[in-house]
Amino acid sequence: KTLVHGDQRRLFNTSNSRMTIMPAWVIDRYGSNDVLRFTKNASFPIINYPNEVVVQVHAAGLNPIDVSMRGGYGAATMAMKRDPLNIKQSGSEFPLILGRDMSGVIMECGLDVTPAYFKEGDEVWAAIPPWKQGSLAEFVVLSANEVSKKPKCLSHIEAAAVPYVAATAWSALVNTGGLNKDNCAKKRILILGGSGGVGTFSIQMLKAWGAHVTVTCSQNAERLVRGLGVDHVVDYTAGPVEVPLRALEKFDLVLDNVGGDTESWALGLLKPWCGAKYVTLVTPFLCNTDRLGIADGMLQTGVTVASKALKHLSKGVHYRWGMFAPNGLALDDISEMVDAGKIRAVVEEEFTFSQVPQAMLKVEKGHARGKTVVKIS
Ligand code: NDP
């Protein structure tokens, strides 16, 4: 309690004892959709560090990683992040709460969180790191540097469609790809997989920064991506997509949201010896650590990425892996772009809190056209 300031009364229930439980969707083991369980008795999140805030979740966005994590994907790396000294027993992550995107209202602030940054009642959005308890719950605790003021012009439902894909796109395009608002004009960017969450966000950010954007997607997604400002669309369902792509002028950056065999041809679409980069979001990093353990998995990952980077460097192009990284400061910039009308939320379907299993199934089926969002409160 000494870590917390603010109006404590908000967190007291009618019997005047501190709230210790909350409604949430949890899993108690990894598996298919039937492991999801609704409970009114999930542990209320506690502020453990003075830079943390408790947020009441109004809406939660889902991502493919929620479906993967439900099945145990990334469990080894997440266990290491949660418990670096490996003190806890295996399975101590349960009951686990999924949900990486959230929009809500700050209920409580740690002592180091000054009103200049956040205070109770602020409307905020955040992408929740996969090693933390997620947003399919009424409350969540986060570090203040993971949180950002939500764009004023978006509802909570719309806001919950943005942070995880935005933070991923920022990490891949800005931190790894070296793009920013001042160097994008006239750059030619190719996005493989333009119609899902990362694609629909990345298109808008790159167009706002003046880039020329080509995407691949299914024919029935062309209208959606054109509406977001794309310059050129290639239908990947019409035949081997690399054939029409090879006929185009070469690119300064390829963002790969698809993976599979794309690596065998996508680097050949880059301008050689110009600093052009291929950044893929589909990497074996978490699979390696799940399969081989942390030490061997990281070693294998390092060897794989280094050998591929060297191989392609000799051909004059850069090969990189992109990773989600929590980034409240990037969300501040994105919030401004949203409020300036440069980026909009692309919500494909909205579900109620009682429909979380249906929402997960929707994401699992694939063929996303933007984002799936759950209204929490
Ligand atoms: P979504 O499920 O929201 O979107 C995927 C989109 O790709 C769908 O619109 C799908 O539509 C389309 N698609 C499928 N196959 C192809 C293809 N061969 N060519 C072009 N488009 C295709 O996923 P996200 O946008 O959220 O994520 C994209 C990828 O990035 C996922 O694999 C995800 O796991 C990964 N990712 C990795 C992160 C990291 O930290 N490394 C972080 C976030 C995401 P349709 O099938 O109808 O064509």
Summarize pLDDT for 285-323 with one digit per residue, the tens. 898 899 999 999 999 999 999 999 999 999 999 999 999
Q: Is 45 in the pocket of ligand 1 (CB under 6 A)?
A: no
Whether the predicted pLDDT of 8 surpasses 70? no
pLDDT at 5: 54
pLDDT at 14: 39
Sheet (strand 212-217) strand order: 232-235, 212-217, 188-192, 253-256, 277-280, 318-321
- Please report the pLDDT score of residue 124 as a whole number: 98
Q: Is 324 helix (H, G, I), strand (E, B) or coil?
A: coil
Q: Coil, helix or strand for 131?
A: coil
Indicate whether 57 pLDDT > 60.
yes
What pLDDT was estimated at residue 177?
98
pLDDT of 237 strictly over 90: yes
- Ligand 1 atom closest to the Cα of residue 236 is 19
**Closest atom of ligand 1 to CA, residue 281:** 41
- Ligand 1 pocket member 77 (CB < 6 A): no
- Is 193's C-beta closer than 6 angstroms to any atom of ligand 1? yes
| Mean pLDDT of all residues in 11-26 | 69
The three-point CA angle 105-110-111 to 5° equals 135
Reported as a pLDDT band with limits 50, 70 and 90, residue 2 is: low
Residue closest by Cα to atom 37 of ligand 1: 281
Q: Which residue has the least CA distance to atom 48 on ligand 1?
A: 218
Helix, strand or coil for residue 322? coil
Q: Coil, helix or strand for 118?
A: coil
Residue 244, sorted as left (phi over 0), alpha (psi -120 to 50) or beta, turns out to be alpha
pLDDT for 373 equals 98
Residue identifier of the C-alpha nearest atom 9 of ligand 1: 196
pLDDT tier for residue 15 given thresholds of 50, 70 and 90 = very low
Mean pLDDT of the chain: 94
Q: What's the mean pLDDT in 92-103?
A: 97
Judge whether residue 9 has pLDDT over 90: no
Q: How confident is the model at residue 86 (pLDDT cuts 50, 70, 90)?
A: confident
Lowest mean pLDDT among 13-27, 192-206, 212-226: 13-27
DSSP state for residue 62 in the 8-state scheme: E
The residue nearest atom 29 of ligand 1, judged by CA position, is 257
Q: What is the pLDDT of residues 142-161, one digit of tens each?
A: 999 999 999 999 999 999 99
Q: Give me the pLDDT at residue 251, please.
A: 98
**Distance, CA 193 to ligand 1 centroid (Å)?**
6
Å from CA of 53 to ligand 1 middle: 31
Are 55 and 124 in contact, with CB atoms under 8 Å apart? yes
Separation of alpha carbons 101 and 121, rounded Å: 19
What single-letter DSSP state applies at residue 9?
G
Mutate to test the pocket of ligand 1, among 62, 241, 258, 285 (most ligand atoms within 8 A of CB): 258
Atom of ligand 1 nearest to the CA of 218: 48
